[in-house]
Chains A and B, each alone.
Chain A
Amino acid sequence: MKPNDSVQEIAQELRAQAVRLWGEQRAAELEPSLQQTAQQLWDVGQVTIQPDLEPGFYQ
């Protein structure tokens, strides 16, 4: 997954991984979820984070 990947490129990468793990049929069943997840990953990839910002975890 490259930083400038589009939503469709991210979805394609997720789909390929789903096929490898669970087969063509399951990957096809997951298509709506793959699209949503690709959009979510694209969303967070659009933000430039300050280098010194650490993860929150147990806030």
Chain B
Amino acid sequence: MAKPHELTVSQAAQQIRDKSLSPVELAQSLLDRIENTDKDLQAWVTIDREEVLSNAKELEAEAKLGKSRGLLHGVPVGLKDIFYTAGMKTAAGSKVYADFVPDFDATSVAKIKAAGGIILGKAVTTEFATSDPSPTYNPWNFEHTPGGSSSGSSVAVASRTVGAALGSQTGGSTCRPAAYNGIVGLKATYGRISRYGVVPVSWSLDHVGILVRTVDDAALMLQVMSGEDANDPGSASQPVPDFLEQMARRSTPPRIGVVSQYYSETSTPEVWAHTQEVVRKLAGAGAEVVELGLPDSFNTAHSVQRIVMNVECASFHEQFHATQAEKYGPRVRAGMEMGMLIPATKYLQAQRLRRQFRQDMVRMVGQVDAVMTPTTPAPAPKDRNTTGDASFQSPWTSCGLPTVTIPSGLSKDGMPLGVQFGGLPFEEGSLLGVAKWCETVLGVQLSPPNYS
């Protein structure tokens, strides 16, 4: 029988509903797990044990009476340390925000609490969710990067110190560390989950990310956090469907688009061979596999993403930079300084190209149920001075389409590999249905050997 800290979110929530698991027992198990692992892994930055246990006791009393606040009743969730938490420090991994204590919860945090979730603590982020590496270690091999920027959230989920954690993605900061650590990552459509109360990198690129160990859990967390928010100017008004029900509709093998162009040339031979093997397995189980070509607008997608990100990052940080430039790490500082040099006409040119790119990607993805690529060009690099390569995730972030990554195997060096699925805007239920079908066919669930 699985120990409480090993349970997925869906399993824990079900056992609490069945009264076979106590929220206090679950919270205590996770806190103990953190105590035992985090000196090595450094995935967590702030934990308030008393508050966690106090909330767990309150929710346990309600559960005993048969009351449920929602889908997460009694289940702890971790937060990347860029999500505002009322009364709890939100330092964004930075010296500039080192003493910042918000007086309200981010909308996504409020939704987790409203659904009965317990905020377990704040997970380490790279500085301002950009590319200066964090102190967190990859549980698969300490010599390899855990990825970033959602490094603590990904490692926390992979090492079984929490079942779900929130991350964010402006380039590749959710799906890349998810793949590097052997877990599931979901970036929903831009606008699906509110960004209100999340320290920004780039307003028009930032997405809230979900880090979990199963596709079921990704759907559950998406259900909890989705919805229009008047406080977020980028929030979408689309109604929130029943994602779990939509996901369950996928009973037949999907039509999957694969893209050899660009991805075969830029992946390592090992990753591309692995991806082709995954394609063969899925086709063998009945999936219809269709080769797709990338639109011409893909050629400038990476440059467009960097220009937009740097300019918006510069705009947010300009006042801090004027007086505290020396407090920034070298990469985030260089990025914002580049943003300060880029002319407004070039920024707008990039935003216009980005709109064209989105239209073209919608046309491409619309030919299939989902497009599949390797999540990353290579497994987590053996280099702690990098957070890895975002080039396979950032075009999806730039066009705002939803993506989900699932673990698909191990490299010859024993590091996790993943495949990424992209879908149509606001069709996350369908996308998760494809991912779930593939997760079942592949049957790959990874656990770092020293943290199993």
Please, which residue of chain A has its CB at the minimum distance from the CB of B190?
A59
By the criterion CB–CB under 8 Å, are B356 and A59 in contact?
Answer: no
The segment from B221-229, B256-264, B280-288, B330-338 that touches chain A is B330-338
By the criterion CB–CB under 8 Å, are B300 and A56 in contact?
Answer: no
By the criterion CB–CB under 8 Å, are B337 and A53 in contact?
Answer: no
Cβ of B355: which chain A residues have Cβ within 8 Å of it?
Answer: 53-56, 59
Cβ of B300: which chain A residues have Cβ within 8 Å of it?
Answer: 43-44, 46-47
State A21–B310 Cα separation when bound (angstroms): 17
By the criterion CB–CB under 8 Å, are B353 and A44 in contact?
Answer: yes
Q: Interface size on A (CB < 8 Å)?
A: 28
By the criterion CB–CB under 8 Å, are A56 and B233 in contact?
Answer: no
List CB contacts (< 8 Å) of A35-59 with chain B: 36-37, 39-41, 43-47, 49-50, 53-59
Q: Indicate if A28 sits at the interface (CB-CB under 8 A).
A: no
By the criterion CB–CB under 8 Å, are A40 and B356 in contact?
Answer: no
Cβ of A21: which chain B residues have Cβ within 8 Å of it?
Answer: 340-341
Cβ of A44: which chain B residues have Cβ within 8 Å of it?
Answer: 300, 303-304, 307, 346, 349-350, 353
Q: Whole-angstrom distance from the CB of B335 to the nearest CB of chain A?
A: 7
By the criterion CB–CB under 8 Å, are A58 and B190 in contact?
Answer: yes
Q: Whole-angstrom distance from the CB of B198 to the nearest CB of chain A?
A: 15
Q: Indicate if A33 sits at the interface (CB-CB under 8 A).
A: yes
Q: Whole-angstrom distance from the CB of B334 to the nearest CB of chain A?
A: 4
Cβ of B303: which chain A residues have Cβ within 8 Å of it?
Answer: 39-41, 43-44
State A55–B344 Cα separation when bound (angstroms): 12
By the criterion CB–CB under 8 Å, are B353 and A33 in contact?
Answer: no
By the criterion CB–CB under 8 Å, are A45 and B349 in contact?
Answer: yes
By the criterion CB–CB under 8 Å, are B358 and A56 in contact?
Answer: yes
Q: Indicate if A8 sits at the interface (CB-CB under 8 A).
A: no
Q: Indicate if B95 sits at the interface (CB-CB under 8 A).
A: no
Please, which residue of chain B has its CB at the minimum distance from the CB of A15?
B341
By the criterion CB–CB under 8 Å, are A58 and B233 in contact?
Answer: yes
List CB contacts (< 8 Å) of B284-309 with chain A: 297, 299-300, 302-304, 306-307
Interface mask (A11-27 → B, CB under 8 Å = 1, otherwise 0): 00010011001100000
State A34–B306 Cα separation when bound (angstroms): 13
Q: Indicate if B98 sits at the interface (CB-CB under 8 A).
A: no
Q: Indicate if B351 sits at the interface (CB-CB under 8 A).
A: yes
Q: Whole-angstrom distance from the CB of B130 to the nearest CB of chain A?
A: 13
Q: Whole-angstrom distance from the CB of A46 to the nearest CB of chain B?
A: 8
Most A Cβ at <10 Å: residue of B297, B310, B352, B358: B352
Cβ of A49: which chain B residues have Cβ within 8 Å of it?
Answer: 349, 352-353, 356
Cβ of B234: which chain A residues have Cβ within 8 Å of it?
Answer: 58
Please, which residue of chain A has its CB at the minimum distance from the CB of B358?
A59
Most A Cβ at <10 Å: residue of B297, B350, B399, B400: B350
Complex A-B: 20 CB contacts under 8 Å: A14-B341, A17-B341, A30-B337, A33-B338, A39-B303, A40-B302, A40-B307, A41-B303, A41-B307, A44-B303, A44-B350, A45-B346, A45-B349, A46-B300, A49-B349, A49-B352, A49-B356, A56-B351, A57-B204, A58-B190
The 10 closest A-B pairs by CB, nearest first: A55-B351, A56-B355, A40-B303, A58-B234, A43-B303, A33-B334, A37-B338, A59-B400, A56-B354, A14-B341
Taking A53-B352, A54-B355 as given, write out 13 further A-B residue pairs in contact, using a Cβ cutoff of 8 Å, ordered by the A residue number.
A14-B341, A18-B337, A36-B338, A40-B303, A44-B300, A44-B346, A47-B297, A49-B352, A49-B356, A53-B355, A54-B352, A58-B190, A59-B399
